[in-house]
Structure 1
Amino acid sequence: MDFDVVLVLATFVATIIGLVRFQQYPAHVFGALLLFLLASGLVGEEAMLRSMANHGLVTLVLLMICSLALEKTRLLRVVTAKIIRPDFRLTWLKLYGSVTFLSAILNNTAVVATLLSPIRNNPYHPSKRLLIPLSFAAIFGGTLTLVGTSTNLIVNSMYLETTGESLNFFDFTLTGLVITLVCGGALFVFSKSLPNQGVQEGDFHRYFVDAKVQPESKLIGQTVEQAGLRHLESFFLVEIVRDGRLISPVSPQQLIAEGDRLVFAGDVKKLMQLTQFEGLKLFADQNGLLGSNLREVVVREESVLVRKTLKDMGFRARFDAAVVAIRRSGERVSGKLGDFKLRAGDFLVLAVGDDFDGRQNLDKNFIMLTDVEAESRLTGWRETVAVGGFLAAIAASAVGLMSLLKATTLLLGVLFATRCLTPNEALRRFPLTIWLIVSTSLMLSFALIDTGLIQQLSSQLDGSVGPEQAMLALVVIYFLTYGLTELVTNNAAAALMFPIAYGVAQGMGLNPLTFVMAVAFAASSSFINPFSYQTNLMVFNAGRYKLKDFVKVGLPICLFYSASVLLTLPVIFPF
């Protein structure tokens, strides 16, 4: 075995060890790998550029950027409003069905992020019974199509680089359907063993926002549940101020009336979702400043605002700014924003006018913190363009009208042209970690092939094997990928195992597609370790679960999932 083969093998093993040791920093490990591959001469400049501009990788990045526009629409919020019902079984089935369907065509991380707050704050059911099923349903749904999860797209990018052909949009669907049905039934049974409790979380550490129901609002006469105000992302309706009296806590069946002041608590970055409710005006909106820049400030001890209300001080005229939200450390804020008496140390989010920075009284009244970049929301025809354009691009690719790369490129151009998405938003949310992991993994794959390591592995295998040996090889590849997924991350596991799986299939004279699909499905099978898959980590933190909660539900689901994959793949993609 020559030196280059030994070196690339050692590099491969060192990469896995590095990913296990530094599990929370995969980008650092792959960044170091990229530099080493270049410095050692295992890959050249041409291979590096080929990897970074890989057809499948560019498609993946474009798809993730285009999906950002969908996050700014009401699509997921409208679906969410229909899910939570008093009957637990109906809620569970609606949640499972909606999440699996949406995750088949949308980024499953975005789906879970949107549903986290409504489920955690739902008034009917223990949230811990629903949050793990939410994450698992998103994983199952991601296995249904080529675009359902980044893992599938990563495997496709490497398959395209190796064979020159792309996987079809629905190659994953039959196996994914078996997984969705079998594992869904098992999940319903085993999720009953989860803690029968909700997640109690105080509201005092979050920003409070005041909005007024206008005379023409369509919210008037609807219940809080019907209006969708119980199902906001990272916001919760805390109280209603009506005719000088407080209604708190707010029942889902509480009717909304003209002139009501609705007080919300939550993440101020998600503020703009409130503007999607017709006839609901925020305090800053009434002052004509909501669309401007947002600043976070703290009220100074010597400020003239201390023990005064915003209404008394003429805040807009004095500072050319309007208060969007208030937060008081250690205490819950209550009542209308304009009537709220300020204290030293109160945190304010201000929508500022053009003259704000020129005012001479800022340093006397505020400690200036940072700009707050509120996530913008799409309404009207722009919302139609974003949703319709995304679905049209997916449909065009699914029916073979054009490649997914071409469809997403055209869609991105339309989104930029119509201001549904801005270049700054795209740059800020550019999936740099995924791009680095996939491109570097492709470079490592080239090194494995160019040094002859994969060929040597293939040549050691007997090309004339029976069904038993073929099945054993498939099981070994599947569980090696699964083990890496639980130890490192799903994307890294798929990228590292692909060249080995492909080489084993070639060496044994078997259908490579069977093994490629096994890698894709195994890399999505993270159910026991909450830290190895992003949606699992999200619900783990939101639900305040213990590791044993994931183990007692995830272990049986893992067995059902693995059996579904290993029994169906040889039927759909014969050896």
Structure 2
Amino acid sequence: QEWAQRLRLSASKLLLPLSYAAILGGTCTLIGTSTNLVVDGLVQEKGLPAFGIFDVAWVGVPVLLGGAAFMLLISRFLLPNRASMASQWEDAREYHVEMLVAKGSPLAGRTIQDAGLRNLTYGFLTDIQRDERLFTAVGPEMTLQEGDLLAFVGVPECARELQRINGLQAAHGGAHKLGLNNHQRHLVEVVLSPEFPGIGRSVKETGFRTRYQAAILSISRNGKRVPGKVGEQCLKVGDTLLLETSQQFVEQYQYRRDFMLVSPLKDSTPPDFRRAPVAVAVLVAMVMANVLGLASTLEAAMFAAGLMIALRCVTVNRSRMNVSVNLPVLVVIGASFALGKAMESSGAAAWIVEQVIPEGGLSPFMALVIIYLLTAVFTEMITNNAAAVLVFPIAIGVAEQLGVSPMPFIVAVMFAASASFMTPLGYQTNLMVMGPGGYTFRDYLKIGFPMSVVVAVISLTVIPMVWGF
């Protein structure tokens, strides 16, 4: 959505390709989608060899490349051009935010364009102060230096956007002066009431940071930015202050008479870039441990999660906040396992196999096509995991009746269950982008049908080459 705003495009041109790319990328590894893990569990229950983390990449990578080529070359002509639900920021409160190129910043020596400051989503760079010189006409090729003071104009989200750029820090009294760790820092907007004790006095005179344990990043008055140094601004009733403070600030001052309104900005905690190399190293170690057979996927993932907390890449509280158990999805998967077991034990799966395979018999490849199409139809009507569980015993039965290896049929179920492009119901990411992109069922069918054909052709061509009958 931010890229769409930045490029002046409708979000509907980007969000559905985003969903499709997430689906295609998930097929490249065992842990890329829950469907692969579910099928792998069913495989192990049958006593067959478990999949390695990159075993499915033999099919997943060609599928990803083919699907990406389709999206880049064809889908642009099929995607709708609808207005996004996201409001435009031009009518929002406007702030003047100053950021400093910190000492040792990776931005030093890079141009404005290379630093990603030319096309911000929620604001724009107005000028740069370097020592005693002020540059007002800032071109994209201007090189940044340590100690540069950058002035930005934008909405409240502009400060959050700037915080996420490695190498920038608040110029005037940021939260680092309050002794707050990164995970404790949040952005909050407050509106000054007539009972605020500092009305008619400058920010510096009120001792705002010491009194409220909050740093003022910018001041907006009547919806317009107040330029100049924050500490020298005279505060008035109705001024809206953009603060960087702790999470407890909202609870403490939400009902105090000092402020008429206290409004926290969602997801405004700045990332701690110092821990990024450690987090990447843990991720690589997790993948390698599984690839080398030192640990199972579950063991490697659990150990990596523990390391992330132990090495302070994430706090215990934040990890607890970000862990969510989607109970309806778990119930559907659990019920699907029970239904799949019932189909197998009741003979329903065997009956379906008899209907699918005619008396004269079928070639293994034609049977593979039928299994793939059957799974693809199911996954568009129910969840991808449920479709995989339901068709799995049928695929095993077909392989047994034909006297061939079940592996090609199992992999076909795995990929067909994930290849949900024609409806918003088959895969979670399709449903996630439906509202923000303003899509209709017709849009999914118009783009998803040719995408499904492309993926099916590639999958059915490559699977027998890797897993022979």
User: Would you call these one fold, judging by a TM-score over 0.5?
Assistant: yes
Partner of 1:302: 194
Could you tell me which of 134, 143, 149 is aligned with 1:259? 149
Residue 238 in 1 paired to residue 134 in 2?
Answer: no
**Residues 494 and 523 of structure 1 are in contact (CA less than 8 Å); yes or no, is this contact kept in structure 2?**
yes
In the alignment, the residues of structure 1 paired with residue 259 and residue 211 of structure 2 have an alpha-carbon distance, to the nearest angstrom, of: 11
- Secondary structure of the residue aligned to 2:257 is helix
- Secondary structure of the residue aligned to 2:149 is coil
Q: Which runs of 5+ in 2 are unaligned?
A: none
Match runs of 1:408-557 below 5 Å: 408-433=301-326, 434-454=329-349, 466-468=361-363, 470-530=364-424, 532-544=426-438, 548-557=442-451
- Secondary structure of the residue aligned to 1:409 is helix
**Residues 387 and 417 of structure 2 are in contact (CA less than 8 Å); yes or no, is this contact kept in structure 1?**
yes
Could you tell me which of 88, 98, 112 is aligned with 1:202? 88
In the alignment, the residues of structure 1 paired with residue 219 and residue 394 of structure 2 have an alpha-carbon distance, to the nearest angstrom, of: 55
Shift of 1:521: 0.9
Partner of 2:115: 227
In the alignment, the residues of structure 2 paired with residue 357 and residue 180 of structure 1 have an alpha-carbon distance, to the nearest angstrom, of: 47
Shift of 1:384: 2.0
Partner of 1:322: 215
**Residues 99 and 151 of structure 2 are in contact (CA less than 8 Å); yes or no, is this contact kept in structure 1?**
yes
TM-score normalised per structure 1: 0.64
Shift of 1:547: 5.3
Shift of 1:565: 1.5
Higher normalized helix content (fraction of residues): 1
In the alignment, the residues of structure 2 paired with residue 528 and residue 462 of structure 1 have an alpha-carbon distance, to the nearest angstrom, of: 27
Partner of 1:166: 50
**Residues 164 and 270 of structure 2 are in contact (CA less than 8 Å); yes or no, is this contact kept in structure 1?**
no
**Residues 303 and 344 of structure 1 are in contact (CA less than 8 Å); yes or no, is this contact kept in structure 2?**
no
From the CA coordinates, give the structure whose radius of gyration is larger. 2
Q: Which amino acid in structure 2 is aligned with residue 155 of structure 1?
A: V
Partner of 2:37: 153
Could you tell me which of 256, 263, 283 is aligned with 1:390? 283
Shift of 1:190: 0.7
Q: 1:526 to 1:461 in 2, by over 3 A?
A: closer
* Per-residue Cα deviation, 1:273-304 (whole angstroms, up to 9, x for no partner): 72652243365335425533647565265343
Q: 1:572 to 1:389 in 2, by over 3 A?
A: same
Number of residue pairs matched? 452
What is the RMSD of the two structures over their aligned residues, measured on CA atoms?
4.4
In the alignment, the residues of structure 2 paired with residue 501 and residue 369 of structure 1 have an alpha-carbon distance, to the nearest angstrom, of: 55
In the alignment, the residues of structure 2 paired with residue 545 and residue 481 of structure 1 have an alpha-carbon distance, to the nearest angstrom, of: 25
Shift of 1:394: 0.9
**Residues 371 and 409 of structure 2 are in contact (CA less than 8 Å); yes or no, is this contact kept in structure 1?**
yes
In the alignment, the residues of structure 2 paired with residue 457 and residue 225 of structure 1 have an alpha-carbon distance, to the nearest angstrom, of: 60
**Residues 357 and 367 of structure 2 are in contact (CA less than 8 Å); yes or no, is this contact kept in structure 1?**
no
- Secondary structure of the residue aligned to 2:170 is strand
* Per-residue Cα deviation, 1:355-410 (whole angstroms, up to 9, x for no partner): 99778993342445679664462433x32221111112112322334322232232
- Residue identity (%): 29
Q: Which runs of 5+ in 1 are unaligned?
A: 1-115
Could you tell me which of 213, 226, 244 is aligned with 2:100? 213
- Secondary structure of the residue aligned to 2:178 is coil
Shift of 1:432: 1.8
In the alignment, the residues of structure 1 paired with residue 290 and residue 254 of structure 2 have an alpha-carbon distance, to the nearest angstrom, of: 57
**Residues 298 and 346 of structure 1 are in contact (CA less than 8 Å); yes or no, is this contact kept in structure 2?**
yes
**Residues 118 and 125 of structure 2 are in contact (CA less than 8 Å); yes or no, is this contact kept in structure 1?**
no
Greater shift, 476-485 or 384-393, is seen at 476-485
Greater shift, 358-367 or 424-433, is seen at 358-367
Partner of 2:25: 141
Shift of 1:417: 1.3
Q: 1:453 to 1:531 in 2, by over 3 A?
A: closer
Q: 1:290 to 1:569 in 2, by over 3 A?
A: same
Q: 1:156 to 1:266 in 2, by over 3 A?
A: farther
